[in-house]
Structure 1
Amino acid sequence: MLTKLEKAIDTWGGSSKIVDQWLDNRRQLLINYCQLAGLPPYSNDTGTLPEEAHIKHFCGLLMDYVSAGHFEVYDQVASACEKSGEKSRQLAKELLPKINLSTDLALDFNDQYTNGIDDEQMLRLDQDLSKLGQAMEERFELEDRLLDTLHQGLETTAT
């Protein structure tokens, strides 16, 4: 996921302050996800569970990222799609509902892990993180398709 993020930054970085900030937020989210999940290069060889404060910090980053997409970046994409024609509008209509599925999963994860974490939840954390990670990876791919549309729309309006 981090490799795909670097490609996204190389492709769309610098096209918009909002997009740059959003991609930086994605980087922070992915780094914290890898740390929390004990994925390389942040492997957890001690076998200890993460601290509740780290889980809550991750949830905050997750909510910031999801919110920025819905309330800032997608508006720019919708405007760019309107300018780019019917094909772009159709793509946005197709992708946004799919992205919303991962939003619901992210909200559920946040609700489960920010209001006090009991032992049972900690035992499910790896499984819940895995499910969330898969959903977020799909989301990033869909968002990248939207960013490509936004980038094409910005190029069209610049010429």
Structure 2
Amino acid sequence: MLEGCKNARERWSGVHDLVDKWLQERQQLLVLYTDLVKQISEGGMPKSSKVHELCEIMVDYTSAGHFEIFEQLYREAEAFCDDKAIELSNRVLPMIQVSTDAILDFHEAFDDKDLSQMDQQTLSARLSVLGEQLADRFQHEDLLIETLHNAHQELIDI
């Protein structure tokens, strides 16, 4: 996607735009997740369509991370010859995969399900576990962004 960039400044700027858009999607995911948890904590059962929406945004967000963002961050670290960042990436990505598996499991379990017959405690417990996985994921993603992207900002003389 950013292969046509002529210099480090263009690459950094392009990656920065991708990351910004991706983090906006993360914010949407968090708002939807929080709304579902709040509704359950107040004794209500969310509509199946809201859980489906959460599943879809999580899968889209996760796919963008794995197939676009992480790849571009890695290429940026390579372009800046940042061996420490590349090494960190190689350590952190398997940790992120754990949450990817949890997201896909949640998606498979709840995406096309009618929640009207579901026990509220089951959904609440699964959302709680999912929330912990998302928190870990976001922490690892933020570390990658900081180390593989933000750390290079001063090197391009913006």
Coarse TM-score class (shorter-chain normalised): 0.7 to 0.9
Residue number in structure 2 paired with 1:133: 131
Alignment TM-score, normalising by the size of structure 1: 0.81
Residue number in structure 2 paired with 1:66: 62
Match of 1:105 among 98, 102, 105: 102
For 1:48 and 1:95, locate their aligned partners in 2 and report how far apart those are by CA, in whole Å. 37
Superposition RMSD in Å:
2.0
Q: Where do 1:1-80 residues align within 5 Å?
A: 16-38=16-38, 45=42, 47-80=43-76
Deviation of the 1:85 alpha carbon: 2.1
Residue number in structure 2 paired with 1:146: 144
- State percent identity of aligned pairs: 33
Q: Deviations over 1:5-27 (max 9, x none)?
A: xxxxxxxxx97211111010010
Alignment TM-score, normalising by the size of structure 2: 0.81
Q: How many residues align?
A: 141
Alignment gaps of 5+ in structure 1: 1-13
For 2:64 and 2:72, locate their aligned partners in 1 and report how far apart those are by CA, in whole Å. 11
For 2:22 and 2:53, locate their aligned partners in 1 and report how far apart those are by CA, in whole Å. 17
SS of structure 2 residue aligned to 1:101: helix
Whether contact under 8 Å (1:15, 1:151) holds in the other structure is no
For 1:27 and 1:100, locate their aligned partners in 2 and report how far apart those are by CA, in whole Å. 20
Q: Deviations over 1:62-109 (max 9, x none)?
A: 111111111111011111222242211110000000000000000000
For 1:124 and 1:71, locate their aligned partners in 2 and report how far apart those are by CA, in whole Å. 32
For 1:155 and 1:59, locate their aligned partners in 2 and report how far apart those are by CA, in whole Å. 37
Whether contact under 8 Å (2:32, 2:54) holds in the other structure is yes
For 1:98 and 1:144, locate their aligned partners in 2 and report how far apart those are by CA, in whole Å. 13
Deviation of the 1:44 alpha carbon: 5.2
Whether contact under 8 Å (1:33, 1:58) holds in the other structure is yes
Residue number in structure 2 paired with 1:87: 84
- Greater CA deviation, 128-137 or 15-24? 15-24
SS of structure 2 residue aligned to 1:16: helix
For 1:28 and 1:57, locate their aligned partners in 2 and report how far apart those are by CA, in whole Å. 11
For 2:82 and 2:58, locate their aligned partners in 1 and report how far apart those are by CA, in whole Å. 32
